[in-house]
Amino acid sequence: MTIQEITAVSKVFLLDMDGTIYFDETPIGDMKNTLQALRKAGKKLVYFTNNSSKTPDEYERKLKKIGFWEEGDLVYTSAMATAEYLREFYPDKRVYVVATDAVKESFQAYGVTVVEENPDICVLAYDTTLTFEKLRKINKYIVEGALYIATHPDDVCPSKDVFPPDVGSFIALLKVSSGKAPDVICGKPYTTMGECIQRKLGVKGNQITMVGDRLHTDIRFGVNNGFHTVLVLSGESTEETLKNSPDTPEAVLPSLNEITEYL
């Protein structure tokens, strides 16, 4: 499909954040007006991130601060997808959650039974308050046979400084200590988060466009889920990496701002 056709058929735009709409808190170009143009064209905007260290409320506050938030927008994180997945498929199970306190509380708010001992399931989120005791416990529980779910697979987290370790690095550590890999990974590029957002919004895959700057997460995620895909070259990817990548987006734009020419 051409970019015009993609924008015409899409009701929902899933927007990756870092490298796609901003860097840390610096908007990319005139993003505020671009987002407004998409809303005016009747598109639902979903801020869609693998980062499971923050709650949707924390993201909403950040987006409000930089003028990106309007009534009707939605934040969707891999932690929310994981909580909804647990509620849908494992409603009565006891779950040990490695996450920040705020994210842990958000799991409880979803109705997940969060426990410290004897869990049926372990969830590994991006816990920026990780301790040895938490690692000891999750390692013990997964060795003893608990179902092991990771929120997302990213090895490092984009940052102004040296990129710090993300969940993919924690997965590698637990692979060495326990011999086990996650039974389920929810976030991009896997399909669980895609199925969750379709269920939540009641929209078909061919009415959704994934916009992002990473080929092996954002674009692969869109392709794996049957969504439309737009790669933006404002972040991690370049013409060069695109040429050498097995992941092929349907459309490529210098940044999301250029989409306004096709609405």
Interacting residues with Mg ion (CB under 5 A): 16, 18-19, 213
| Identity of the residue, 29 or 115, whose beta carbon is nearer to Mg ion in the bound complex | 29
The rounded distance, in Å, linking the Cα atoms of 165 and 56 is 22
* Residue 108 CB, nearest approach to Mg ion (Å): 29
Least Cβ distance, residue 250 to Mg ion (angstroms): 18
Rounded to a whole number of angstroms, the minimum distance from the CB of residue 114 to Mg ion is 29
Which residue's CB is nearer to Mg ion, number 141 or number 221?
A: 221
How near is the Cβ of 33 to Mg ion at its closest, in Å? 21
The DSSP 8-state label assigned to residue 69 in this structure reads: -
C-alpha to C-alpha distance for 206 and 209, rounded to whole angstroms: 8
Question: Closest approach of Cβ 98 to Mg ion, in Å?
Answer: 23
Looking at beta carbons only, is 159 or 248 nearer to Mg ion? 159
Q: Which is nearer to Mg ion, 146 or 232 (CB)?
A: 232
Closer of 156 and 173 to Mg ion (Cβ): 156
In the complex, the smallest distance separating the C-beta of residue 124 from Mg ion, rounded to whole angstroms, is: 21
- Would you say 104 or 188 has its CB closer to Mg ion? 188
Cis peptide before 189 (omega within 30 of 0): yes
Vertex 61 angle, CA 216 and 29, to 5°: 55
Cβ neighbours, 10 Å, residue 117: 8
Closest of 180, 126, 179 to residue 151, by C-alpha: 126
- Which three-class secondary structure state does DSSP give residue 3? helix
List Cβ neighbours of 174 (8 Å cut-off, separation of 6 or more). Answer: 124, 135, 138, 139, 142, 180
Cα separations in angstroms, 96 against 36, 140, 145: 40, 11, 13
Nearer to Mg ion, 84 or 213 (CB): 213
What is the distance between the alpha carbons of residues 14 and 153, in angstroms, rounded to a whole number?
19
Nearest residue (beta carbon) to Mg ion: 19
Q: How far is the CB of 230 from Mg ion (least distance, A)?
A: 13
In this structure, are residues 198 and 216 in contact, taking their beta carbons and an 8 Å threshold? no
